[in-house]
A and B are shown apart, each in its own frame.
Chain A
């Protein structure tokens, strides 16, 4: 079952085609990787998927629905979560609160019920707290839940972003360079976490990464972008041996 489809998606910035006629089909429960040199359009692609940019051409289809012009917050509520290349945490909120905010898209208590402390709101808060604690346990940050988010170590901050994205109960999770700045031990743990997320929570994962080791080990299929175009797609071994990819990105002896 195809969960996300991009049909000839294009985006332009001041005359420059950042993304040019990209076709992609992501299957449910896949771990799919997108690689390519810097400036190839990977993050732009993510931004299109999450509704931050509206593509000038093409169709974006999520679970059978065309979502080209859907606003970011609605995309989130439809079930697409993401992390960011340059970590975007709520710095002056606690770790716990960061994840609780993540629950926003799947909860409902409004202004009045929150302010007046109505029963429905209090019940929901309990649920939010429980769920957030659970997610923090999963990424190993439960003990630091009362710290300010900007007090965490870099790798911990990345894990927090993942926990926050998971709070949304997404069916598709976009990870933008989740391993950036991590050492090899942390990356090993990250790979375990990604697999755990996919296996235990039935979430499709789409990730952008530069670390080839990570990508080749964890992704089931990979697409390669260069200058906004998809130049190759396939399994890790197929990609490793693809001439065009080697030439433009991997280099000889990859």
Chain B
């Protein structure tokens, strides 16, 4: 498959497609936490980092097969998500935002000082096992599982928490437990994306996973439509391709992101696809049920 692709599609576009795939996995993870459950997490890059470094070290120093290494990274990220989530999610949502920023910072500082990770110089020589096929197969599986989750009882309870936490409690939902669950699953996907990223890039360093990375992923989720799978994908596509096309104004990219967030929140807090009520569209096309995703 790879050979076929390599012959027929320009390497540059292939690269972008792979990044889109990885970003979709990362963004869908954040989407579960922030878009669906409404808990603002500002440190997603920290989980990506954990997944990346763990899987890389497993591959390089412990001769772990590719799939196991990536899964190992994802599981470690999930574990940290769980540990951070438990004390923090008991409290008001605002705290999670700050704690996650702090967490991502601690991770970054940790890897800057971590010998086996190469410290500031980073880690290179990671076996490049991530392929287009593998990434997109995983993307498809993740999308399907997410979709089924959101239609299920647990998924509904997550949306309920976002909409009105107190009312959710009155329906018998243990909001703290559900929030921790969402956070753990979201971090798992973050770690998964990180592992795939590391094994594609051949080289990683702590700067790749700084605060700006978390902001980029957040923008993807917020832009496309919070809580919505197609919305998140749209956000990823736009924000992965745009910087490529706007190479010229690269320095202004962050300025644009900042302003974009403010403008979106004021005028279209539900993102591009969020407020276009699928209900209205579906009504015209003959379908009836309204879905938040």
Contacts and interface: CB of A to CB of B under 8 A. Distances in A.
Say if the two chains contact directly (CB < 8 Å): yes
A207 to B, nearest CB: 16
Given A72-B169, A104-B172, A94 B153 contact: no
Contacts, number: 123
A100 interface: yes
B164 A89 contact: yes
Interface in B175-217: 175, 181, 185
What band does the interface of chain A fall in when counting residues whose beta carbon is under 8 Å from B? 35 or more
A114 B171 contact: no
Contact of B152 (A73, A77, A91, A115): A115
A165 B167 CA distance: 10
Interface residues of B, number: 33
B171 A101 contact: yes
Contact of A73 (B173, B181, B288): B173
A64 interface: no
A97 B145 CA distance: 20
Interface stretch (A54-62, A80-88, A212-220, A222-230): A80-88
Contact of B153 (A82, A92, A109): A109
Nearest to A165: B170
A146 B288 contact: yes
Given A73-B175, A76-B172, A77-B172, A90 B159 contact: yes
Nearest to B287: A146
Contacts of B172: 73, 76-77, 104-106, 168
Interface of A: 50, 52, 71-73, 76-77, 81-82, 84, 88-94, 96-97, 100-107, 109-111, 114-117, 121, 124-125, 128, 146-148, 164-165, 167-168
Given A88-B166, A88-B167, 8 more contacts: A50-B170, A52-B169, A73-B170, A84-B166, A90-B167, A146-B279, A148-B290, A164-B171
30 contacts: A71-B169, A71-B174, A72-B166, A72-B169, A73-B170, A73-B173, A73-B174, A76-B169, A76-B172, A82-B170, A84-B166, A90-B167, A93-B163, A94-B289, A97-B156, A100-B153, A101-B156, A101-B159, A103-B171, A104-B160, A104-B173, A105-B173, A110-B154, A111-B181, A114-B153, A115-B149, A117-B148, A124-B153, A148-B279, A168-B172
